[in-house]
Chain A
Amino acid sequence: MPRPRRAQHCCRETALFSMANVRHLILLLLYCDGMNTETTPSPPSDPVFTTRKAVSKGQNQVITEELAILTPQNIELLCNLTDIPNNPPNITGYWAKDGQEIENSEETVNRINEQYVLKKTFSIQARDLGNYSCIFRENKAQVTFVLDVPVIKDKRDKPVVSYTRDSVVLECKLKYTPNTWNWYKANNTEKELINVTANPLNYKIFNNGNRTKLTILNLSEEHSGKYICSAVFDIKPSESYIELKVLSYTEPLKPFIAIVVEVIVLVTLILLWEKCSKPQHDSSSAGENDVCSEQTTKLTRDESNGVENNTARRRKLDD
């Protein structure tokens, strides 16, 4: 099948990388931004060029590649297959979206320089985001491109803990800068937008490019719950949530008092035991000490060649 020509002039370069190692499956991606298929051409925005390499050892591998899509665009996905045994003159492969085969996408590619290149251009709008896979049936090789808005990573698994009448800062950050950030409070299944202008005493939002901070002042127990930060992109907003737990001061106070009590009990026991064992200790250990001291001087004499004896003797003579 001839390569689609409409995507031709927006692509500046195609870069093909190949690994020298045996049995690798190498992917190259080429982004083409700009031209829609509609009649009114919009001025092309600057193309974004990204090349990514995914290496798989062995033939029967499934590779996943994540791509962040910020704006609606046309994108050409390219799969490069190398090191196939027997080197057949051509291979068939097809495309699937979210596990379902795309109709009429089956294509036979010819071998070029020991490589087989399968590519297809997709027009991506908000509803088109998903997993796109190129599958080579006979070789059982598959590459999956995950097309999605940038995901807010390093999300806390555990809730943020704070205390009543205190304040707390909730933060979200991304690799890419969205158009704007929004914060919502989740009430069961509903989302309620946090409006800073309506409530300046309690909430403060600070947006700085690819990060946002929500400060909640004057906390009370009702503030506990899920807070959703939303990064608004052209194509679709990307969301993440943080859970907040507001405790009262009595919560940590209980273990604290328990530990203090334990410390006081132990100290008292130890000091009491010392007082009780003192009288016997004094009377019985006088004799012991002489025996002990003889033994230790003997030991130390062996170890230190009689130095202690000399010093002891010197002290005796000093008197």
Chain B
Amino acid sequence: MPPSASTNLGYTPPDGGWGWAVVFGSFISIGFSYAFPKSLTIYFKEIQEYFSISYSEIAWVSSIMLATMYAGGPVSSVLVNRYGSRPVVIAGGLMVGVAMVMASFGTTILHLYLCVGVIGGFGLAFNLQPSLTIIGKYFLVKRPIANGLAMAGSPVFLSTLAPLNQFLFDHFGWRGSFLILGGVVLNCCVAGSLMRPIKIKTKPPVSKTTDENDTAKPDVTSQTAGQDKSKQSGCAAKVSQFIDISLFKHRGYLIYLVGNVLLFFGFFAPVVFLAPYAKHQGIDEYSAAFLLSIFALVDMFARPGTGLVANTKWIRPKIQYFFSFSVTYNGLCHLICPLLPGYSGLVVYAVIFGLAFGMVCALLFEVLMDLVGAQRFSSAVGLATIIECGPVLLGPPISGLLVDIFMDYKYMYYACGMMMLAGGVFLFIMNFYNYRLLEKEEKEKQVEDRLEIGSAKELAANEEDKDNEEKIRLNTEEEVGKSICEEP
């Protein structure tokens, strides 16, 4: 039995039609959000020489951009809750575009930190959250496929932006490239314009409807069975006008957060160190770069594939288990990697890792939507990203430290594998527990419902009787009236 949070939208999502255009828009936005900071590293060497700074100082640009992108999550959620996805994405696209144009005229590294790092990071945050949120609004039945397709934007854009950036750099140097990239990133505005706010048709009179699906007020009807209604008082009420912090009482959400913190410590570091590890083994630069291409290619297809698999009727109800499985698989993959010898071993590892990485990424936000429902999703993802900010940023440097201390990559892989395995096992156990509790709560609710229905049926029967009486009375009155009229 899945958590029942999915349908308190108040309407049935279209699951198609314009939804696929929205998925395409999300594909573009998510692609830029994840791939853009990583693809900027091509310019770092030249900028480093230009400003005469060390490598770590220039690497801060990417780190600040990524950090702001994650930290800007709650701000983005607040804005999406208030204004809907479309204006926020368009604003985000404009912000990044302007930031890159300003950066192309930069005279100090601080200028770059502010423009590319802070403003650019916020702009990307304004792209990421709304794209994810709007998928939940347009899709329900086919949501895992939609999520998988949208998340596939990241590897596709990374493979496209990397050669594009190289080309721009060769022809225009870093300043001209930043200017042109500012223009390219404005295409996020195109993606935003595709994200039509969903029009709610008022249902037949019996059911209650929410008119706008992006109201600021939090969802007052109770969430998944068994959760306490959020007690709103004073300050908490004001904050929850903007963002739903009652989520922190949501059992499933807390499990998700803890699992995510564990898994993100070991998530990105293996990607970052794949090429250096290959070079360390004595493999030449081009083959090492080719490994990353293999990884990205497998990732590209793994994400929609996972979406398709997750959509099947066997997996969809138990999608939390599927997610836990993919995290555990990721962990095992890293534990085995150091044991594979030679270049062919590394190729096998890249393929398996690409599959695992794609699976986790495709399911990452789908399970969150499954847990909290589309209505609260935007607040949930905002709060989740700001908490994930820590492990995401700390993960690669800590792994780098491990490599420096032990002068061997295998300990770093073991550490990452253990972290992900811990996260996966934790999620498995806690989700098993959560599903059991939810089933129990559902059964209790069903018993209550039956009682209510029983009494409601009586009420309805009474009402019908009354109606029938009214009708009979009206008929008799009409007849009387007619007979009166007919009388001459």
A residues at B contact (CB < 8 Å):
158, 160-163, 166-169, 171, 213, 247, 251-253, 255-260, 263, 266-267, 270-271, 274, 281-282, 285-286, 289-290, 292-293, 296-297, 299-300, 302-305, 307-308, 310-319
The answer to whether residues A292 and B12 also contact, given A247-B176, A251-B172 and a CB cut-off of 8 A, is: yes
- Which B residue's beta carbon lies closest to that of A290? B204
B186 at the interface (CB under 8 A from A): yes
Q: Is A162 a contact partner of B186 (Cβ separation < 8 A)?
A: no
A26 to B182, alpha carbons, bound, how many Å? 56
Q: Is A166 a contact partner of B317 (Cβ separation < 8 A)?
A: no
- Which B residue's beta carbon lies closest to that of A160? B173
- Which B residue's beta carbon lies closest to that of A274? B196
Within 8 A of A (CB), among B181-196: 182-184, 186-187, 189-190, 193-194, 196
Q: How many A-B residue pairs have CB under 8 A?
A: 134
Q: Is A308 a contact partner of B7 (Cβ separation < 8 A)?
A: yes
B residues at A contact (CB < 8 Å):
1-2, 4, 6-8, 12-15, 49-50, 52, 101, 140-141, 170-173, 175-177, 179-180, 182-184, 186-187, 189-190, 193-194, 196, 199, 201, 203-204, 206-208, 221, 313, 316-317, 442, 445-446, 449, 452-453, 456
In the assembled complex, the CB of B107 is this many whole angstroms from the nearest CB of chain A, namely 10
Q: Is B442 a contact partner of A161 (Cβ separation < 8 A)?
A: no
Q: Is B183 a contact partner of A314 (Cβ separation < 8 A)?
A: no
A312 to B9, alpha carbons, bound, how many Å? 11
Query: What are 9 contact pairs spanning A and B, CB under 8 A?
Result: A247-B172, A256-B183, A267-B193, A292-B12, A293-B203, A296-B13, A300-B7, A302-B313, A305-B317
- Quick one: which of B2, B190, B313 has the most chain A CB within 10 A? B190
Chain B residues with Cβ under 8 A from A267's Cβ? 189-190, 193
A290 to B453, alpha carbons, bound, how many Å? 24
Q: Is B189 a contact partner of A263 (Cβ separation < 8 A)?
A: yes
Residue in B4, B203, B316, B452 whose beta carbon sits within 8 Å of that of A307 in the complex: B4
What's the dominant secondary structure at chain B's contact region?
A: helix
Residue in A260, A289, A300, A302 whose beta carbon sits within 8 Å of that of B201 in the complex: A289
The answer to whether residues A171 and B183 also contact, given A263-B189, A300-B141, A304-B317 and a CB cut-off of 8 A, is: no
The answer to whether residues A270 and B2 also contact, given A163-B176, A259-B180, A300-B141 and a CB cut-off of 8 A, is: no
In the assembled complex, the CB of B296 is this many whole angstroms from the nearest CB of chain A, namely 24
The answer to whether residues A285 and B196 also contact, given A256-B180, A303-B141 and a CB cut-off of 8 A, is: no
**What 7 A-B pairs are tightest by C-beta distance, nearest first?**
A252-B176, A161-B173, A259-B183, A307-B4, A293-B12, A256-B183, A270-B193
The answer to whether residues A315 and B221 also contact, given A292-B14, A299-B141 and a CB cut-off of 8 A, is: yes
Q: Is A259 a contact partner of B12 (Cβ separation < 8 A)?
A: no
Chain B residues with Cβ under 8 A from A259's Cβ? 180, 183-184, 186-187
Residue in B2, B52, B203, B206 whose beta carbon sits within 8 Å of that of A304 in the complex: B2
A224 to B121, alpha carbons, bound, how many Å? 36
Chain B residues with Cβ under 8 A from A318's Cβ? 208, 221
Residue in B180, B201, B221 whose beta carbon sits within 8 Å of that of A252 in the complex: B180
- Quick one: which of A247, A259, A271 has the most chain B CB within 10 A? A259
- Which A residue's beta carbon lies closest to that of B171? A161
- Which A residue's beta carbon lies closest to that of B176? A252
A91 to B329, alpha carbons, bound, how many Å? 61
A88 to B141, alpha carbons, bound, how many Å? 81
In the assembled complex, the CB of A157 is this many whole angstroms from the nearest CB of chain B, namely 9
A180 to B176, alpha carbons, bound, how many Å? 35
Q: Is A310 a contact partner of B446 (Cβ separation < 8 A)?
A: yes
Q: Is A162 a contact partner of B317 (Cβ separation < 8 A)?
A: no
In the assembled complex, the CB of B458 is this many whole angstroms from the nearest CB of chain A, namely 13
A18 to B414, alpha carbons, bound, how many Å? 37
The answer to whether residues A305 and B190 also contact, given A163-B173, A293-B12, A315-B208 and a CB cut-off of 8 A, is: no
Residue in B6, B14, B177, B190 whose beta carbon sits within 8 Å of that of A263 in the complex: B190
Chain B residues with Cβ under 8 A from A317's Cβ? 452-453, 456
Chain A residues with Cβ under 8 A from B452's Cβ? 314, 317
Chain B residues with Cβ under 8 A from A169's Cβ? 49-50, 52
Q: Is A271 a contact partner of B193 (Cβ separation < 8 A)?
A: yes
